[in-house]
Chains A and B, each alone.
Chain A
Amino acid sequence: MTLMTCGPQAISTLCQSYASQGFRLQTMMATDERRIHGHYVLRYAFVHDATGHSVVLETAVPHDSPHYTAVTPALPAANWYEREALDLLGLFPDGHPEPFPLMLHGDLAANANPYPLRKEVDRAVSLPSVSRSLSVEAVPDGEFEVPVGPIHAGVIEPGHFRFHVRGEDVQSLDVTLFYTHRGLEKGAEGLTFAEGLAVAEQTCGVCSASHGAAFAQAVEAICDAHIPERAMWIRLLVLELERLYNHIGDVGNICAGIGFSFGVMQAGILKEKLQRHNARLTGHRFLRNMMAIGGVARDVPSDLAAHTGHVVQETMSAFSGLVNVLLSNEIVCDRFRQTGILALDVVRQYGVVGPAARASGYLADARLTQPSGAYSDKEVQTLLHVPTFPDGDVMARVLQRIEESSVSATLIGLAVAKLRSLPKADGDSSLVTPMVTPAPYEWALGVTESPRGENVHFVMTGPNGTIDRLRIRSASYANWPAVAKAVPGNIIADFPLINKSFELCYACCDR
Chain B
Amino acid sequence: MKAMHVLASTLTALLCAAITALGWTALQGVSEVFWTYHVIPNSPLLIVFRIQPLAGLFLCLLGVSGVLSAIYGIGYHNEYRTRRYGILLDLGILLFIVAMAAVLLAADVFTFMLGWEAMSVISFLLVIYDHRKPGNLQSGLVYAIMTQIGSAFLLVAFLVLYAYTRSLNFATFAAVAHTLPPDVQSVIFLCALIGFSTKAGIMPLHVWLPRAHPIAPSHVSSLMSGVMIKTALFGFLTVVILWFGGGATWWGLTVACLGGVSAITAAALAARATGIKQILAYSSIDNMGLIFLCTGVAMIEFSMRDTPLAMLALLAALWQTWNHGLFKTALFHGAGAILYATHTDSLNRLGGLARSMPKTSIAFSILLLSWSASPPFGGFSGEWMMFTALSTAAEHHLHGPMGILDVIALLALFFTAALTAWAALRVYGIGFLGQPRTVAARDAREVPRTMRIALWMGATLTLVSGLAGAFLIARLAKALTGIAGRVAPVPSALANGPLSPVTVPTAFVLIFAATVTAWTLIRLAQGKTSTRTVPTWTCGGERTPSMQYSGNGLSQPLERAWPLLATPLATQWLYRPAYAWVLRTATRFRKIQSGNVRSYLVYLFATIVLLLIVARVGGGVR
CB distance from A171 to the nearest CB of B (A): 11
A148 touches B554 (CB 8 A): no
In the complex, whether A403 has a CB less than 8 A from a CB of chain B is no
Pairs of residues from A and B, 5 with the lowest C-beta to C-beta distance, nearest first: A167-B556, A142-B552, A151-B540, A139-B546, A167-B553
B547 cross-chain contacts in A, Cβ below 8 A: 144-147
Interface residue ranges of A138-179 to B (CB < 8 Å): 139, 141-152, 158, 160, 165-169
A-B contact pairs, 16 of them (CB 8 A): A131-B542, A141-B552, A142-B550, A142-B551, A144-B550, A144-B553, A147-B539, A147-B547, A151-B540, A160-B539, A167-B554, A167-B556, A168-B556, A168-B557, A169-B556, A169-B560
In the complex, whether B274 has a CB less than 8 A from a CB of chain A is yes
Which of A141, A148, A158 has most chain B Cβ within 10 Å? Answer: A141
Q: Bits for B318-344, please: 1 = Cβ < 8 Å to A, else 0.
A: 000000000000000000000000000
A148 cross-chain contacts in B, Cβ below 8 A: 539
CB distance from B536 to the nearest CB of A (A): 11
User: Which applies to chain A's interface (DSSP): helix, strand, loop or mixed?
Assistant: loop
B556 cross-chain contacts in A, Cβ below 8 A: 166-169
In the complex, whether B548 has a CB less than 8 A from a CB of chain A is yes
CB distance from B334 to the nearest CB of A (A): 22
B542 touches A144 (CB 8 A): no
A165 cross-chain contacts in B, Cβ below 8 A: 553
In the complex, whether B563 has a CB less than 8 A from a CB of chain A is no
In the complex, whether B544 has a CB less than 8 A from a CB of chain A is yes
Q: A121 vs B584: C-alpha distance in the bound complex, in angstroms?
A: 77
Q: Which B residues are closer than 8 A to A by beta carbons?
A: 274, 346, 348-349, 538-542, 544, 546-557, 559-560
A146 cross-chain contacts in B, Cβ below 8 A: 547
Q: Which residue of the partner chain, among B349, B540, B550, contacts A150 with CB atoms under 8 Å?
A: B540
A141 touches B541 (CB 8 A): no
Which of B348, B541, B560 has most chain A Cβ within 10 Å? Answer: B541
B559 touches A167 (CB 8 A): yes
A149 touches B542 (CB 8 A): no
Q: A146 vs B553: C-alpha distance in the bound complex, in angstroms?
A: 11
A141 cross-chain contacts in B, Cβ below 8 A: 346, 348-349, 550, 552
A150 touches B539 (CB 8 A): yes
B552 cross-chain contacts in A, Cβ below 8 A: 141-143, 166-167
Which of B348, B539, B542 has most chain A Cβ within 10 Å? Answer: B539
Q: Given A143-B552, A168-B556, 20 more contacts at CB 8 Å?
A: A131-B542, A142-B274, A143-B550, A144-B546, A144-B548, A144-B549, A147-B538, A147-B541, A149-B540, A150-B539, A150-B541, A152-B539, A158-B540, A160-B540, A166-B553, A167-B553, A167-B554, A167-B559, A168-B557, A169-B556
How many A residues face the partner with a CB closer than 8 A? 21
Q: Bits for A118-134, please: 1 = Cβ < 8 Å to B, else 0.
A: 00000000000001000
B553 touches A149 (CB 8 A): no
A167 touches B540 (CB 8 A): no
User: Which applies to chain B's interface (DSSP): helix, strand, loop or mixed?
Assistant: helix
Which of B274, B540, B555, B559 has most chain A Cβ within 10 Å? Answer: B540
A150 cross-chain contacts in B, Cβ below 8 A: 539-541
Look across to chain A and name the residue whose beta carbon is closest to the beta carbon of B554.
A167
Interface residue ranges of A330-357 to B (CB < 8 Å): none
Q: A148 vs B541: C-alpha distance in the bound complex, in angstroms?
A: 8
A145 touches B553 (CB 8 A): no
Look across to chain B and name the residue whose beta carbon is closest to the beta carbon of A164.
B546
A167 touches B555 (CB 8 A): yes
CB distance from B368 to the nearest CB of A (A): 22
CB distance from B272 to the nearest CB of A (A): 10
CB distance from A172 to the nearest CB of B (A): 14
Interface residue ranges of A353-406 to B (CB < 8 Å): none
A168 cross-chain contacts in B, Cβ below 8 A: 556-557, 560
CB distance from A311 to the nearest CB of B (A): 40
Q: A173 vs B348: C-alpha distance in the bound complex, in angstroms?
A: 21
B544 cross-chain contacts in A, Cβ below 8 A: 145
Q: A144 vs B543: C-alpha distance in the bound complex, in angstroms?
A: 12
B542 cross-chain contacts in A, Cβ below 8 A: 131
Q: Which A residues are closer than 8 A to B by beta carbons?
A: 131, 139, 141-152, 158, 160, 165-169
A160 touches B553 (CB 8 A): no
Look across to chain B and name the residue whose beta carbon is closest to the beta carbon of A158.
B540
CB distance from A106 to the nearest CB of B (A): 14
Look across to chain A and name the residue whose beta carbon is closest to the beta carbon of B542.
A131
A143 cross-chain contacts in B, Cβ below 8 A: 550, 552-553
B349 cross-chain contacts in A, Cβ below 8 A: 141
B541 touches A149 (CB 8 A): yes
Q: A481 vs B551: C-alpha distance in the bound complex, in angstroms?
A: 31
Q: A278 vs B549: C-alpha distance in the bound complex, in angstroms?
A: 47
B557 touches A167 (CB 8 A): yes
Look across to chain A and name the residue whose beta carbon is closest to the beta carbon of B437.
A144
CB distance from B567 to the nearest CB of A (A): 16
Q: Given contacts A167-B553, A167-B557, A167-B559, is CB(A142)–CB(B539) below 8 Å?
A: no
Q: A144 vs B542: C-alpha distance in the bound complex, in angstroms?
A: 15
Q: Given contacts A147-B547, A167-B560, A169-B560, is CB(A142)–CB(B541) below 8 Å?
A: no
B560 cross-chain contacts in A, Cβ below 8 A: 167-169
B557 touches A151 (CB 8 A): no
A142 touches B553 (CB 8 A): yes
Q: A158 vs B546: C-alpha distance in the bound complex, in angstroms?
A: 22
Q: A158 vs B540: C-alpha distance in the bound complex, in angstroms?
A: 10
B541 cross-chain contacts in A, Cβ below 8 A: 147, 149-150, 160
Look across to chain A and name the residue whose beta carbon is closest to the beta carbon of B349.
A141
Q: Given contacts A147-B541, A150-B539, is CB(A142)–CB(B348) below 8 Å?
A: yes
Q: A152 vs B537: C-alpha distance in the bound complex, in angstroms?
A: 11
Q: A149 vs B560: C-alpha distance in the bound complex, in angstroms?
A: 27
A167 cross-chain contacts in B, Cβ below 8 A: 552-557, 559-560
CB distance from A160 to the nearest CB of B (A): 6
Q: A141 vs B274: C-alpha distance in the bound complex, in angstroms?
A: 10
Look across to chain A and name the residue whose beta carbon is closest to the beta carbon of B560.
A168
Q: A146 vs B556: C-alpha distance in the bound complex, in angstroms?
A: 15
Look across to chain B and name the residue whose beta carbon is closest to the beta carbon of A179.
B540
A158 cross-chain contacts in B, Cβ below 8 A: 540
Q: A166 vs B274: C-alpha distance in the bound complex, in angstroms?
A: 13
B548 cross-chain contacts in A, Cβ below 8 A: 144
A149 touches B539 (CB 8 A): yes
Q: A166 vs B548: C-alpha distance in the bound complex, in angstroms?
A: 11
CB distance from B77 to the nearest CB of A (A): 31
A149 cross-chain contacts in B, Cβ below 8 A: 539-541
B550 cross-chain contacts in A, Cβ below 8 A: 141-144, 166
A166 cross-chain contacts in B, Cβ below 8 A: 550, 552-553, 556
Q: A165 vs B546: C-alpha distance in the bound complex, in angstroms?
A: 11
A152 cross-chain contacts in B, Cβ below 8 A: 539
Q: A326 vs B607: C-alpha distance in the bound complex, in angstroms?
A: 76
Look across to chain B and name the residue whose beta carbon is closest to the beta carbon of A148.
B539
B557 touches A145 (CB 8 A): no
B555 cross-chain contacts in A, Cβ below 8 A: 167
Look across to chain B and name the residue whose beta carbon is closest to the beta carbon of A165.
B553
B546 cross-chain contacts in A, Cβ below 8 A: 139, 144-145
Look across to chain A and name the residue whose beta carbon is closest to the beta carbon of B537.
A151
Q: A187 vs B556: C-alpha distance in the bound complex, in angstroms?
A: 50
CB distance from B501 to the nearest CB of A (A): 44
Q: A146 vs B538: C-alpha distance in the bound complex, in angstroms?
A: 8
A169 cross-chain contacts in B, Cβ below 8 A: 556, 560
B559 cross-chain contacts in A, Cβ below 8 A: 167
B539 cross-chain contacts in A, Cβ below 8 A: 147-152, 160
CB distance from A204 to the nearest CB of B (A): 23
Q: A28 vs B346: C-alpha distance in the bound complex, in angstroms?
A: 50
CB distance from B440 to the nearest CB of A (A): 14
